[in-house]
Structure 1
């Protein structure tokens, strides 16, 4: 049996809470050291100040006055009244965060960690339907919400059958913004909701809740939601030990300099943002500039120039902008020395184009590195060190210490591949999830008998121990790093009264450097109901527009909608997506996986 280990020596892993790792050694970093910087305003939060705020918010969360429950009738004088849901929270209960990036986001996250409350992080572009699923599945007691997203949360509560008074009691509006003159957000919390700013005034915990020893491995700290391969998104239970381990393990391959400044543009609700921008850099004293609002190349480059940023974690579409957009030429970005890409495959040609351009603009010794990981692996699996970045362009790097992997052949059994041959990546180690929440069947399906997590990604390993992602066995679509499960879109499509059946595949766009969801639909009235091509096109456009109102932004059908007479399926009823990919090749002349021109039979 061939089990590969890291070329780096294993490291000693901590057994403590996330909060204790980042803030537990006050003598390690100066109290007045910058920890988070609000990019729009320039407001800087110092390390000691931030820790104090987090402990104050943790106190407010766990000591908020309970409302007096209504009592009526004879039994009310004998039986204790049931506790109403909402604040205050106890250890082990769940709170949801529904917000775009801001410096308030890490404050809420670390306050929950200090209080021993589990944080479940929701995509800020979710619709009420998607948000309601996560609220219900995670059993969230309360939800922290950015003011502009309050209508979405209110509708989600309503869809779950939560009455108005209860919904307001279970909603905390993130109205804290110390950079504004009034010390509140642009949109202050309506008086009928709980105010985050008020929670900060109720006192302060002396210290965080301890998760030392075995508790760190057994206690869930956060739950991001992963789409997996089928069905609705599943809650991934990530423990304190998962996060503290990966932060410690990454350090051996991702060094930093004393003058490092990081720019955070990735969503903080994504495991990528959680581990690296909220936990990794703060643990080691690197200030994080938090870019708020929708990403634009001009804003990205402007913030690099304004804050003399040296490094940032990105996804391939951002690198595409750095290669082609005029923004890098309009700003002094010469402080930038490294961009690390993850969440989606990265081509050699794009790496070379960005490196050539930025070096030409004065970025000395500039390198692009890559990493690979999953929500279920607490992000970290492979990382390409800067020292090998130019020599191993296209590789996702080396295995992190303390991990073991196997590469398994496609087909029955668990036969391992020969060195250099592609195989499905299986991983074992301290970063593997505790499991899928409320879903032991799904958890069992992704674990081997020996405890290896089956990623569904196909990789190769070269003779030097560098890994490259070459394919994906899963049906999951990745749009700019965001997961798009075909089954989720298919469920939405077939709920439309004019659609009888539907199937969704991902088609790669070389221009946008990402996969795009493409739907094939069977109209309820049949293909023959359309008299002209114009009628078909109008119906396809209608469905595209309708889906955009039903799902999050990253799930929009950017790859198009195509009317067909029947969805190809196996005798067991499984959608034959391979046939739809072949159909796409004929329709577009392009390979749906690579975006390159499709080979003709003669070329094959």
Structure 2
């Protein structure tokens, strides 16, 4: 077995033998400095100087026969040994057959299937940069990210090929399409098949020796929406993601147990891999720790809850709508939740009442806490420690991370004062791709990242997220930028101007509500306007409520007065 992984073992032996600067001690005197900076209470960790690829596979020879990923619905999956070998062949074919070179972008447009981590690892080994996209996106949305990311190849499902080709027509491009076959159906004509590329035992892997990717190179390019603009490419380096994985290994915040010959933790991937939350926290980090990942390719509450019991899932990462669903679903019982030990909620603040209702479902004591992060921070910034029994607060800054809470003039505030949260640490992005204006406003004073989120920290530096300064609408944990929907509405021939805000919703958390002003002499039916938008955006972005105004309220500078709209 060792000989199969010799090349990888040699490349990453330094990771195993290097110093580990991890401590379970917490400073006793609080974390605020005299200057108003909040320090992490945890000892700093040493960040390996390596790529995500090498980091993820560093302990491969300890658990080659254990399951790495399995589909909850079909049972189809891979062991760690299979995953490594298949991704290795895929990487070689990306360079040989598709001419992927260091720094080239490969777009992944897939649901959560067991092949997803293999594809990501293959792209990394080939020297490529991953850009992920929601598989429910329309051709209009796909073409925009294809152009912005300058993707050279796209990986998707056979049933999504028609949408991809429509996107090609809009963007006036034509790049190779690789499809992942999850059943016996034939692949669409003119596409390559991932299954064949990964199982190609004859591919010449010597081309992988040409890869010259370093820790400081960009490896992941997710798209995140800004305060009011369209999605921006977030450049995350290997060091950013490796640092975040190491930061999560701090014993007082770590969520998983060691993988041994007799034990393997099980995490379920209900959060989408196309989002940085699941990509880093569930895929990259948990694979490096040898966990079994149960993938959910299509969300159905019954299937999800039954899978928790069937696969004996003990580690679960959620967003608030999922917490509420689990608290209220008739199948959500002490029996179906009996194996859960660690549950972390992120993506948006969770109401304490929802957390209490969720915990009432359990007979056993579990660790239940919140995490906070952003796409721009790889993503984790703060995480509840094991002894924090308050689901209303997030927790301490993770190792190597500093925080500031500032007023509107960027002056530091003190304990229990609410202001905008700023972050500094090795997990903070390199920057937004080809967007110097956004970088100048978001990354200030030597690397402090402005989150746009309102926060409070107590005397000990434990933070609570209060609200968002950003105008993003969070629908079931997904980001919906108002500007995107406003742009679509303005494409309608009868619409002169449009504005969109988020309003509370019982099951979605928030939902978009639109306001439109018509062109002189023009009008349109509200249902027709909703249908017009629905044809151009993903289902979770759809608008169900539109109010007609004579004009959209704007400031002298032209900014939409959303506060005035909310008062309506």
Matching residue of 1:555: 541
Structure-to-structure mapping, 1:365-404, within 5 angstroms: 365-388=365-388, 390=389, 392-404=390-402
Specify which of 106, 119, 123 is matched with residue 108 of structure 1. 119
Matching residue of 2:328: 324
1:304 corresponds to 2:331 = no
CA distance in 2, matches of 1:129, 1:231: 17
Matching residue of 1:76: none
Which whole-Å deviations, capped at 9, do the CAs of 1:284-321 have from their partners, x for residues lacking one? Answer: 1111111111x122111110111011121111111111
CA distance in 1, matches of 2:367, 2:78: 29
Offset, 1:210:
9.4
Matching residue of 2:41: 7
Structure-to-structure mapping, 1:93-242, within 5 angstroms: 93-162=104-173, 166-167=174-175, 170-175=176-181, 177=182, 185-200=183-198, 201=200, 202-203=202-203, 205=205, 215-217=214-216, 219-242=217-240
1:491 corresponds to 2:487 = yes
Q: Is the 8 A contact 2:87 2:121 kept in 1?
A: yes
1:437 corresponds to 2:433 = yes
Structure-to-structure mapping, 1:573-592, within 5 angstroms: 573-583=558-568
CA distance in 1, matches of 2:338, 2:447: 46
CA distance in 2, matches of 1:331, 1:3: 45
Secondary structure, aligned partner of 1:550? coil
Offset, 1:366:
2.4
Offset, 1:259:
4.3
Q: Is the 8 A contact 1:503 1:575 kept in 2?
A: yes
TM-score for the superposition, normalised by structure 1: 0.84
1:542 corresponds to 2:528 = yes
Secondary structure, aligned partner of 1:7? coil
**Cα distance change, pair 495–20 in 1 and its aligned pair in 2 (3 A):** same
Q: Is the 8 A contact 1:297 1:318 kept in 2?
A: no
Offset, 1:331:
6.2
CA distance in 2, matches of 1:25, 1:319: 33
CA distance in 1, matches of 2:206, 2:256: 32
Q: Is the 8 A contact 2:321 2:477 kept in 1?
A: no
Q: How many residues align?
A: 525
Offset, 1:26:
3.2
Q: Is the 8 A contact 2:161 2:188 kept in 1?
A: no
Matching residue of 2:17: none
Offset, 1:333:
2.8
Structure-to-structure mapping, 1:56-71, within 5 angstroms: 56-64=89-97
1:19 corresponds to 2:53 = yes
CA distance in 1, matches of 2:153, 2:211: 23
Offset, 1:386:
3.1
CA distance in 1, matches of 2:221, 2:352: 34
Q: Is the 8 A contact 1:15 1:241 kept in 2?
A: yes
CA distance in 1, matches of 2:416, 2:511: 30
Specify which of 76, 82, 100 is matched with residue 49 of structure 1. 82
Q: Is the 8 A contact 2:109 2:154 kept in 1?
A: yes
Matching residue of 2:404: 406
1:460 corresponds to 2:456 = yes
TM-score for the superposition, normalised by structure 2: 0.89
Matching residue of 1:423: 419
Offset, 1:121:
0.6
Specify which of 486, 496, 512 is matched with residue 507 of structure 2. 512
Matching residue of 1:333: 337
